Amino acid sequence: MSLEKTEGVILRSIPKGETSKILTVYTRDFGKLALIAKGAKGPKSKFGGILEPLSHLAIVFYMKDSREVQLLSQGDLLNFFPGIRQDLEKTWPALAVCDLLNRLMPPRSGVGKEKSRASFGLLLDVLRGIDGADRNLINFWWWFLIKLIKILGYRLELIRCVRCRQAVEGTMAVRVEKGGVICPRCDDEPGRRTVLTAGSLRFLVKLSGLLGPAVSTLNPSKGQVKEIDFFLDQFLKFHIESFQGLKSIKFWREMRDRP
Ligand SMILES: [Zn+2]
């Protein structure tokens, strides 16, 4: 058994017995970890009230390779993301991000150390972005998806035709199974295609080039929100089986669709 130090964001926290909590934490150095926090529910707990989803912590824990759930020894709060917690419109996209990572990532650094570190960096960037933003929160969700898709090694081509490599212009068909846009000359096989109008394509290309806080500066039109949402949904559903039916995303959509 070794004593390890890292930082992580709590994706999920469930009670265990009378006094403890089982946490799912996305960590910088070990990927997704299950940790038990003994005595975390008591009023005199040394952890205070910080062991909640979305808390960014410096943690110390006992690691034993043969064990599925590791033992948390110490947790110090680095960021509580107060902006996200105070505003439901921000809470939902932030929880959707945590939910998706939880669903997608295998335990420990099962996707490889590099990818797991890069996705931890992305998680912090997107939470900081949502925390500080005052508009266009949905951009962060799309931005997170586009970056994560690339980190995990999927192809997402929005500038050149996936077959002939010519730069495309205007409204284009997208073949999710081929990983991007396909020009009318090459699009001759049967099968489902999604269409992205010229505006939506330009929007997505711009969005993927932005950094952190700048993500909220682009204004999508109502039509673009629908199109982009539908396209990314199709993309994830095709490539990532476990994507179907995330509750947080369902609630968030219902909230957004309310008049
Ligand atoms: Zn082509």
CATH at residue 17: 2.40.50.140
pLDDT of the residue at 103: 87
Phi, then psi, of 59 in degrees rounded to 5:
-125, 150
Residue 256: its pLDDT value, please? 77
Q: Which of 42, 62, 79 is the last residue of a domain?
A: 79
Residue 175's Cβ-side half-sphere holds a number of Cα atoms within 13 Å equal to: 15
Cβ-Cβ contacts under 8 Å for 9 (sequence gap 6 or more): 25, 26, 54, 55, 56, 57, 98, 120, 123, 124, 127
Residues 103 and 26 in one domain: no
Domain that residue 11 falls in? 2-79
For residue 242, the model assigns a pLDDT of 74
Ligand 1 geometric centre to CA of 201 (Å): 16
Tokens standing for residue 206: 């711009």
Determine the distance separating the centroid of ligand 1 and the alpha carbon of 210, expressed in angstroms. Answer: 27
pLDDT score of 26 = 97
**Three-state secondary-structure class, residue 156:** coil
CA of 202 to the centre of ligand 1 (A): 18
Domain-ending residue, one of 79, 99, 114:
79
Residues 93 and 49 occupy one common structural domain: no
Q: What is the amino acid identity at position 4?
A: E
Exposed/middle/buried for 244, CB within 10 Å: 0-12, 13-18, 19+? exposed
Give the chain's count of helices (H) and strands (E): 7, 8
Provide the pLDDT for residue 245. Answer: 67
What does pLDDT average to in each consecutive run of 10 residues of the chain (259 residues)?
96 93 96 94 83 96 94 96 94 92 84 90 97 94 94 93 95 93 92 90 96 93 93 88 76 77
Give the distance (Å) from ligand 1 centre to CA of residue 220.
Answer: 27
Q: What is the CATH number of the domain that holds 100?
A: 1.20.1440.120
